[in-house]
Structure 1
Amino acid sequence: MSSGPSDAGGNPPPATIHIWLERFNKQKPHSFEKATAPVDAENWI
């Protein structure tokens, strides 16, 4: 558990990903309902 700005791959922290998922789900719930993991979310970008 290391919380720092230098993250492997430059990915945002899980908290940021969850917030992004919530916002995206509110915008397009039907198009995004199948993506349940952060990896799936990145594939949709």
Structure 2
Amino acid sequence: MSTDDTRRDYGPAGCVGGIAYGLAATLILTTAVIALIVGFTLAP
């Protein structure tokens, strides 16, 4: 489903959901990057 469909179906709520999804994805990616850096730093 495209972004336009979501916006048309849910209005402001769909927009908020999209922002929340974006923040969650960013948080997950950031956590993964930090985990990689820590893993390489602690590696023998």
Q: Which has the higher helix share?
A: 2
Determine if the TM-score, normalized by the shorter chain, exceeds 0.5.
no
The TM-score, its normalising length taken from structure 1, stands at: 0.37
The TM-score, its normalising length taken from structure 2, stands at: 0.38
Q: In terms of Rg, which structure is larger? A: 2
Greater relative CO (CA pairs within 8 A, separation 6+) = 1
